[in-house]
Structure 1
Amino acid sequence: MWLTGMIFTVAQVVGGVLTQWAGWRWVFFVTVPIRVAGLVGAVRGLPRHDAPGRRPRLDLVGAVLVTTALTGVSYGVMQARGQAVLGGGLALLAVFVVHQARWAREPLLSLGIFRLRAVSSGNAVMLLLGLGFFASPILLSLYLQDVHGWSPLRAGLGYLPVGVAMFAGAQAAGRLTLRFGARRVTAGCCLVGAAGALGVAAFLGVDRSYVLTVVVSVGVFGFGTAAALTPITVVASSGVPAAQNGLAAGLLNTVRQTSGAIGLAVLGTISAATASGWATTHP
């Protein structure tokens, strides 16, 4: 999980460079060759599936349903008048659940895995963590640029202390988990992250210190969150039959990605509305 902190840090700096010198669209363009290289590497480097017996069939209907549903939910949350899209996404998500439970011969997501308390609780914690944390780098960058007047590059560099804190938290997570157990470390690290979030809420403002707001508060927030990812993964995969290890890992990753997108949409909307209201009352 130490790679997560490194990726967050590098992405902020590279994003700042691209936005300032090439334009914000290049933040998306630059991912195309990276994804192509990853695809080629996966095809050429990953071992083929040569396990004996019949290969499981891909639940194509289920894949289309859940992808469309999650896209609709994320898009609907982001749009000010996206209630119809949001409702459609939620309806498709319900159809997906019914399809997995009753109609699919080989379901994409075996719902029985949620009977395992560790899987359910681990994914629930990841959901809440994603809603609250994974939007923070983007909102922090906007705060440094729009409030402090920093350039995109300087804002990216300003995130470096947070990346270092995340790297340290991810590095410490393994040792802490081995010593104190995954559940205790998850709870403790989430409390540390919550303390950092309270610090952000207390110190965030137009004339507030970068050191207190970002380096200290967001740094503590990032340390606790990054340190929590490893024990959450351990919890969410504990007690899972060997044949469903891949399912458990994929489920947790999907929850992480989806909650991050929805969290960004919700917090971005709240932030924009708050900023608009403040600008109206402070002409």
Structure 2
Amino acid sequence: MLIQRGARAPMLPARVLADRGRSGAILVMLLMGAGQLATFYFLTLYMQAIEHYSPMITGLAYLPFAIGIGLGSGAIGPTLQARTSTRNVLTIGMVVAAAAMGWFSLLVPDQNAFLVLLPAQLVGGVGLGIGFVAATIGGVRGIAPQDSGIASGLVNTSQQIGGALGLAVLAGVAVTATADAPRGMAVREALTSGYTTGMLGAGVFYLAAVVAAALLLRDSPRRRRRAL
């Protein structure tokens, strides 16, 4: 059998990233992934190493996060998307998620879970759920049918890459914060200080996503006409 030689189609056509809004949405998803995975990592360490939760209790303690993501992506996000621009929806979601990271910074050993741990997870889940909806829509909007799979894959892949990079950076930040704790501070307090510092770093990633959305995403012509 003869194999015809010819130009092979690139795995990532340049036209997919040529759209500024799509590139911005993919960057936002990368920053979201950077903050999200690190948050899960630090929360798990806090619950098991500091509060000594069993694996079962730790899993149950994540329910508010799951509920928040469901509310954000299934109800609040689509409602906002129908009423305003993708850029505005992303901004709302990321600001809410960043606020949750600030709430997590109040964690201390032996703290009542209903004061910080559980409600902050619910708020953070809502913010991320809203952001996921908007970033996904921004990443695939206006794409040609033959490129829809590539665009969707880029959105998902950027989240995974962002998670790996964010965890690598923020784990180092947390270790440094723990090592720089005042002499004489108990180990549990020093470790918690490192974890909460890492989660504040996740909040910085979310705020960076707000900046990326503001600079790269634009209202569609249809949306602008509707606003007039």
Distance 1:144 1:279 in 2: 23
Cα pair 1:169 1:224 within 8 Å, conserved = yes
For residue 182 of structure 1, what is the aligned residue in structure 2? 86
Cα pair 1:192 1:224 within 8 Å, conserved = yes
Please state how far the C-alpha of 1:279 moved relative to its aligned partner: 9.3
For residue 73 of structure 1, what is the aligned residue in structure 2? none
Could you state the TM-score of these two structures normalised by the residue count of structure 1?
0.58
Question: Structure 1: any 5+ residue segments left out of the alignment?
Answer: 1-56, 58-103
What do the CA deviations read for 1:153-207 (whole angstroms, capped 9, x no partner)? 2111111122212211121122221232322211111111111111112x12224
Cα pair 1:162 1:214 within 8 Å, conserved = no
Question: Which structure 2 residues correspond to residues 160-171 of structure 1 after superposition, within 5 A?
Answer: 160-171=63-74
Question: Which structure 2 residues correspond to residues 13-24 of structure 1 after superposition, within 5 A?
Answer: none
Which has the larger displacement, 119-128 or 214-223? Answer: 214-223
1:110 to 13, 29, 50: 13
Please state how far the C-alpha of 1:140 moved relative to its aligned partner: 0.7
1:227 to 130, 136, 161: 130
Mapped pair 1:216 → 2:119: yes
2:61 to 158, 166, 171: 158
For residue 85 of structure 1, what is the aligned residue in structure 2? none
Cα pair 2:62 2:121 within 8 Å, conserved = no
For residue 96 of structure 2, what is the aligned residue in structure 1? 192
Distance 1:145 1:275 in 2: 17
Identity of aligned residues (%): 31
Cα pair 2:17 2:23 within 8 Å, conserved = yes
Could you state the TM-score of these two structures normalised by the residue count of structure 2?
0.71
Distance 2:175 2:51 in 1: 16
Secondary structure of the equivalent of 1:230?
helix
Secondary structure of the equivalent of 1:109?
coil
Distance change (3 Å), C-alpha of 1:279 and 1:218 = farther
Please state how far the C-alpha of 1:125 moved relative to its aligned partner: 0.8
Distance 1:207 1:154 in 2: 15
Please state how far the C-alpha of 1:132 moved relative to its aligned partner: 1.1
Distance 2:130 2:39 in 1: 16
For residue 143 of structure 1, what is the aligned residue in structure 2? 46
Secondary structure of the equivalent of 1:210?
coil
Larger relative contact order (C-alpha < 8 A, sep ≥ 6)? 2
Cα pair 1:118 1:235 within 8 Å, conserved = yes
Secondary structure of the equivalent of 1:255?
helix
Cα pair 2:139 2:151 within 8 Å, conserved = yes
Q: What code does the residue aligned with 1:194 have?
A: A
RMSD: 2.2
Distance 1:111 1:277 in 2: 46
What do the CA deviations read for 1:88-107 (whole angstroms, capped 9, x no partner)? xxxxxxxxxxxxxxxx8422
